[in-house]
Amino acid sequence: MAGKGSCRLNSIGFGTWAWGNEFVWGYDPNRDDGRLAATFRQALSSGLNLIDTADSYGTGRLNGRSESLLGGFIEALPASRRSQLVVATKLAPFPWRQGRRGLDRAFNASQKRLGGYLKRVQLHWSTARYAPWQEAALLDGLADLVQAQQVDELGVSNVGARRLLWMQARLRERGVKLSSVQIQWSLLSPGVAPAQELLDLCQALDIEVLAYSPLAFGVLGCTPGDTPRPSTWLRQRLFRRLLPESLPIRQLLAAIARERGVSMVQVALNWCRATGTTPIPGIRSPRQAMDAAAALTWQLSEAECFALNQARERCLARMPSNPFQSR
Q: Which residues bind ligand NAP (CB under 6 A)?
A: 15-18, 52, 90, 157-158, 182, 212-218, 221, 230, 263, 265, 280-284, 288, 291, 322
Question: Which of these is catalytic: 27, 57, 117, 212?
Answer: 57
Q: How far is the CB of 72 from ligand NAP (least distance, A)?
A: 18
Q: How far is the CB of 131 from ligand NAP (least distance, A)?
A: 17
Q: Say if residues 141 and 104 touch (Cβ distance below 8 Å).
A: yes
> Residue 57 catalytic?
yes
- DSSP letter assigned to residue 285: S
What are the CB-based long-range contacts (under 8 Å, 24+) for 295-300? 295/12, 295/262, 295/265, 295/266, 295/269, 295/270, 296/11, 296/12, 296/47, 298/260, 298/262, 298/266, 298/270, 299/7, 299/9, 299/270, 299/273, 299/274, 300/7, 300/256, 300/267, 300/270, 300/271, 300/274
- For ligand NAP, which is the closer residue by CB, 239 or 304? 239
- For ligand NAP, which is the closer residue by CB, 124 or 276? 124
- For ligand NAP, which is the closer residue by CB, 5 or 299? 299
Q: How far is the CB of 144 from ligand NAP (least distance, A)?
A: 22
What distance in Å separates the CA atoms of residue 244 and residue 196, rounded to the nearest whole number? Answer: 26
Q: How far is the CB of 149 from ligand NAP (least distance, A)?
A: 25
Residues tagged active-site: 57
